[in-house]
Amino acid sequence: MNVIARRVLQLHDDAGRFVRDVVISIGQPYLDTEGLNPLESDAPWACPYRIEGLGDWDGDYRIVGEDAVQALQLVHGVIWGVLEGSEQASSLRLWGEPDLGFPSPFKRVRVRHEPASDSAYIGLGGVFDQDGEAVDQLEVDDRDGELAVILDFAHSGELVGLELFNAGTRLPEGLRRPAVSQEP
């Protein structure tokens, strides 16, 4: 495996004392032609990875994607799943903080900017009710008394999203979509 990235986590015991390093290595994606005609254009891409120091999970693995980028994206989610599902998950640290070192593929922030209505919805990946609606909402006004944001909450009380008004001004520039002019 040609290692292109490596992350070292620290495993601690119940008393918070360092036990050992857990090393995650990600290899360079490669065209996986094993068992296929090497000239076949739709051969999948594989991304190898290695886990060391996590007991039963130690070993070399690979994840397959449609192209090299997808294989790299998928390997992060798979590694998160292995770490999260391990008995040691709550004892892992990254740079001294409780952290698995790989983001959950299920906790992604989604931003949908609607220039026509000058609003944006920022979804935090929570669980809404059966109809896909927030269970509870809280309206927040700005200093001038204008509606600035509506916070959406799930049954658990968890914040699952927010609707931002006057998004052309309030939303960071990198998250805005350009306004599309509509001719009459």
DSSP line for 91-116: GEEETTEE--SS--TT---EEEEEGG
The per-residue pLDDT for 183 is 43
Conformational region of residue 144, where left means phi above 0, alpha means psi within -120 to 50, and beta covers everything else: alpha
Q: 59-65 and 159-165: which strand pairing?
A: unpaired
d(CA 156, CA 126): 10
The per-residue pLDDT for 22 is 96
Bridge partners of residue 93, in order along the sequence:
10, 98
The per-residue pLDDT for range 44-58, each reduced to its tens digit, is: 889 999 999 998 889
Intervals of the chain under pLDDT 70 = 35-41, 106-108, 125-134, 174, 176-184
The kind and range of the H/E element at 165 are strand 159-165
d(CA 44, CA 32): 6
The per-residue pLDDT for 100 is 85
pTM value surpassing 0.75: no
Q: How long, in residues, is the chain?
A: 184
Q: Which residues have CB under 8 Å from 172's CB, separation 6+?
A: none
Q: Which residues have CB under 8 Å from 184's CB, separation 6+?
A: none
The per-residue pLDDT for range 152-171, each reduced to its tens digit, is: 887 777 788 889 999 888 88
The per-residue pLDDT for 36 is 65
* Domains of the chain listed by start with CATH number: 3-98 (no CATH), 110-175 (3.30.390)
The per-residue pLDDT for 166 is 92
The per-residue pLDDT for 134 is 64
